[in-house]
DNA sequence: ATATAATGTTAGACAAGACTAACAATGAAG
DNA sequence: CTTCATTGTTAGTCTTGTCTAACATTATAT
C-alpha cells in the first residue's frame, strides 16, 4: 500500500510520461511543486520499490509495475470525479480538488461500488478516459484545438485542464463537452483563434485556451 | 484546519468525555492505541490551541471550542456512514472503516452535499445522532440492554459499537435497529441475558453484547 | 502512614517528507 | 573546446507524530 505522498508522485510521473516515456527530475519537481532534492530522494526510494528505473543524472522511467500503480490512482481520481458529478450533483469545475483527496481512500470496495453505481464509465466529466481495474486505458485520438486549421469542423471531446478557473471560463461561455465548433480564423502572431460554437456564440480564444480544448474532427 | 491526527484525538476526547467531562491521558492513550508520552505532548499542543484545558498531572477537558471541533468531525463521520448505506448500497457493518477515512476530507461543500442528498438525517445507520452544523446533538435517552430487568419490553434503537465484528454478530441473528425485544431472563453471575426478539428467535446474549445494545423501553 | 501500583512527564531517538546550501555533472553557445 | 547555465546530487536541518527509557507524582492498600 502506498502513502498519499507516493500516490501523488506516481500520478505526476504518469502524467508527465504520457509525452515520451522519460521524465526529468526537474519536470517532476515543477509539476509537484516540491524542490528537486526532495524529489531526487523519493526517486531513489521509488527505484528500490521497482516503481521506476533510475540512474544518476538521467531521467527516470516508470516500470510496468509503476505504470499500473499510477493508473490505479488515476482510475480512483476519475471515478470519483464522475461519481461527484453524476451522483452528488456537483458541477464539473468543483470536483477536481475533492477527488484529489478521495483518490487516496484505502478501500478497494469503495471504488468498486462507485464503478458499479456509475455503470462502469469509460470517461470522466472532463472527457478523460478512466483506466480499467487492470490499469488499461481506452486510447483516444483527440487533438488540441490549437492544432486545427481554418474551416476545420470539430467536436469538443475533452479538456486537458480540470482546474476550477479554466472550467469557470468555459461555463461563463456555456461551452460543454459535445459542442460542435468551427475554426473561423487563426492569428499566427499569438496563436489565438476565432471559433464558432454552433448554436451559441462566436468566440476568440487565446492559444493557452486552444491548447486545453481537446477535439475530434468531423 | 486540523490535521488528520488532530481530528482523531478530538474524536477520542469527545467520545471519552461523554461519560463525565474529564478525560485522563491514560484513557485517551488506550483508546487511540498511542503511547502516553505521545498523547501527553499532543495535549500540550491542544492546550496551546485552546481545544482543551490542561494542568500537569490532571485529566484534560475539552473547551467549548474543542467540543465543537470534535462534534464537527463526528458529524462528518456519521453523515458519511449514512451516505454509504443510503446512497452507495453498503451494509452497516462495512461503513465504519471507510468513514474513518472520508471524515478527514477537507471540503465543507462535500459534506453539505451529503447532508442535503440525505435530507438532513438526524441519525446514522447505527442509531447514533448526527451533530448539526453548529455542533449540537439531539439528546437521546437510550439505555444499554444490560440495565434492563426481566420482563422489560424494549425497542433496539442504536448500537454503541460500530465495528464490523459486532455488526456481523447481529447480522448472523438478523437483528436490526427497530426490533422489539423482551427480557426473558438475566443471569446475575455473568450478566448474560435471555432475550426474545419478536418475530425472530430467542437468544442468549453475554453481558458484553448487552452493553452494546442501546434500547428504549416501551 | 508509608510502600507500591498506576498514572503522568521529560528526555532523547526515529521515520517520513519537506527544506536550504553547496557541490557535481551535463549540455548549449560561442 | 571551453564557458556558463541548467539540471542533478549530497549533506544537513526541520516538523509532525511516533516510540522507549527513565524519572516524578498521585492514588491505593494494608
Q: What is the pLDDT of residue B97?
A: 96
B195 pLDDT higher than 90:
yes
A89:B117 CB<8 A: yes
Phi first, then psi, for residue A26 (nearest 5°) are: -65, -45
Find the helix or strand (DSSP H, E) in which B190 lies.
none
Query: Which residue's CA shows the smallest distance to C1' of C9?
Result: B37
Average pLDDT across chain A, whole number: 95
A20 pLDDT higher than 90:
no
Using CA atoms, how far apart are residues B151 and B149, in angstroms rounded to an integer? 6
User: A189: Cβ under 7 Å from strand C?
Assistant: no
A18 pLDDT higher than 80:
no
| CB B128 within 8 Å of CB B118 | no
**Strand A52-53 to A61-62 pairing:** antiparallel
Q: What is the pLDDT of residue B173?
A: 94
Count other Cβ atoms within 10 Å, centred on residue A172: 8
Q: What is the pLDDT of residue B189?
A: 86
Count other Cβ atoms within 10 Å, centred on residue A74: 22
Burial of residue B67, with CB atoms counted within 10 A of its CB: 0-12 exposed, 13-18 middle, 19 or more buried: buried
Average pLDDT across chain B, whole number: 95
Per-residue pLDDT tens digits for B107-137:
999 999 999 999 999 999 999 999 999 999 9
Q: pLDDT-derived band of residue B200, with 50, 70 and 90 as boundaries?
A: confident
Using CA atoms, how far apart are residues A90 and A67, in angstroms rounded to an integer? 30
Q: What is the pLDDT of residue A44?
A: 96
Q: How many Å apart are B56 CA and D27 C1'?
A: 16
User: A43: Cβ under 7 Å from strand D?
Assistant: yes
Using CA atoms, how far apart are residues A59 and A28, in angstroms rounded to an integer? 10
Using CA atoms, how far apart are residues B48 and A122, in angstroms rounded to an integer? 49
- B213: three-class secondary structure by DSSP: strand
Per-residue pLDDT tens digits for A193-207:
999 999 888 999 999
Q: pLDDT-derived band of residue B216, with 50, 70 and 90 as boundaries?
A: very high
Per-residue pLDDT tens digits for A23-64:
999 999 999 999 999 999 999 999 999 999 999 999 999 999
Using CA atoms, how far apart are residues A150 and A140, in angstroms rounded to an integer? 23
Count other Cβ atoms within 10 Å, centred on residue B98: 20
Sheet holding A193-197, edge to edge: A143-144, A213-217, A153-159, A180-186, A193-197, A202-205
Per-residue pLDDT tens digits for B132-187:
999 999 989 999 999 999 999 999 999 999 999 999 999 999 999 999 999 999 98
User: B25: Cβ under 7 Å from strand C?
Assistant: yes
Using CA atoms, how far apart are residues A116 and B151, in angstroms rounded to an integer? 47
Q: How many Å apart are B17 CA and C6 C1'?
A: 21
CB-based contact, A168 to chain B, within 8 Å: no
Give strand pairing partners of A183: A195
Q: What is the pLDDT of residue B20?
A: 72
Per-residue pLDDT tens digits for B10-20:
999 999 997 67
The residue assigned the cell 448487552 is B210
B32 nearest nucleotide via C1' and CA = D18
CB-based contact, A35 to chain B, within 8 Å: no
Per-residue pLDDT tens digits for B92-111:
999 999 999 999 999 999 99
Nearest to A64 by CA among A74, A51, A54, A45: A51
Which residues of chain A does B114 touch, with a Cβ-Cβ cutoff of 8 Å? 88
Percent of residues in chain B assigned helix, strand, coil, to nearest 5: 45, 15, 40
| Cβ-nearest to B109 among A94, A101, A117 | A94
Cα angle, residue A103 at apex, residues A99 and A106 outer, rounded to 5°? 145
A98:B105 CB<8 A: yes
Q: pLDDT-derived band of residue B211, with 50, 70 and 90 as boundaries?
A: very high
CB-based contact, B110 to chain A, within 8 Å: yes
Q: Min CA distance, A113 vs chain B (Å)?
A: 7
Q: How many Å apart are B36 CA and D21 C1'?
A: 13
The residue assigned the cell 461561455 is A173
Q: pLDDT-derived band of residue A78, with 50, 70 and 90 as boundaries?
A: very high
A68 pLDDT higher than 90:
yes
Print burial letters for B111-135: b (CB count within 10 Å at least 16), e (below 16). bebbbebbeebebbbbbbbbbeeeb
B87 pLDDT higher than 80:
yes
**Strand A153-159 to A52-53 pairing:** unpaired
A183 pLDDT higher than 80:
yes
DSSP character at residue B146: G
A166 pLDDT higher than 80:
yes
Alpha helical stretches, state H, chain A: 4-17, 25-32, 36-48, 64-88, 95-102, 108-117, 164-172, 207-212
- Per the model's pLDDT, the better-predicted residue between B83 and B200 turns out to be B83
Q: What nine digits make up the cell of B200?
A: 425472530
Q: What is the pLDDT of residue B199?
A: 84
Q: State mean pLDDT over A131-143.
A: 93
Burial of residue A181, with CB atoms counted within 10 A of its CB: 0-12 exposed, 13-18 middle, 19 or more buried: buried
Burial of residue A186, with CB atoms counted within 10 A of its CB: 0-12 exposed, 13-18 middle, 19 or more buried: middle
Which residues of chain A does B5 touch, with a Cβ-Cβ cutoff of 8 Å? none
Q: What is the pLDDT of residue B201?
A: 87
| CB B57 within 8 Å of CB B21 | no
Global confidence as pTM: 0.93
Q: What nine digits make up the cell of B52?
A: 482543551
- The angle, 0 to 180 degrees and rounded to 10, between the axes of the packed helices A108-117 and B64-88 is 50
Amino acid at each position: 500500500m502506498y502513502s498519499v505522498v507516493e500516490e501523488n508522485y506516481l500520478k505526476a510521473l504518469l502524467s508527465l510520461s504520457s509525452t515520451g516515456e522519460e521524465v526529468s527530475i526537474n519536470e517532476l519537481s515543477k509539476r509537484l511543486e516540491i524542490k528537486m532534492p526532495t524529489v531526487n530522494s523519493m526517486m531513489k526510494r521509488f527505484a528500490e520499490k521497482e516503481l521506476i528505473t533510475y540512474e544518476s543524472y538521467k531521467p527516470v522511467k516508470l516500470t510496468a509495475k509503476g505504470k499500473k500503480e499510477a493508473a490505479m490512482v488515476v482510475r480512483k481520481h476519475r471515478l470519483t470525479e464522475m461519481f461527484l458529478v453524476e451522483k452528488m450533483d456537483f458541477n464539473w469545475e468543483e470536483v477536481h480538488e475533492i477527488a484529489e483527496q478521495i483518490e487516496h481512500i484505502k478501500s478497494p470496495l469503495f471504488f468498486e461500488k462507485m464503478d458499479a453505481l456509475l455503470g462502469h464509465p469509460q470517461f470522466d466529466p472532463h472527457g478523460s478516459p478512466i483506466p480499467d481495474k487492470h490499469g488499461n486505458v481506452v486510447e483516444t485520438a483527440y487533438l488540441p484545438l490549437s492544432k486545427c486549421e481554418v474551416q476545420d469542423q470539430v467536436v469538443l471531446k475533452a479538456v486537458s485542464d480540470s482546474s476550477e478557473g479554466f472550467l469557470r471560463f468555459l461555463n461563463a461561455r456555456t461551452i460543454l463537452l459535445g459542442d460542435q465548433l468551427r475554426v473561423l480564423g487563426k492569428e499566427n502572431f499569438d496563436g489565438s483563434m476565432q471559433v464558432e460554437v454552433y448554436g451559441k456564440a462566436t468566440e476568440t480564444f487565446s492559444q493557452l485556451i486552444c491548447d486545453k480544448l481537446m477535439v475530434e474532427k468531423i
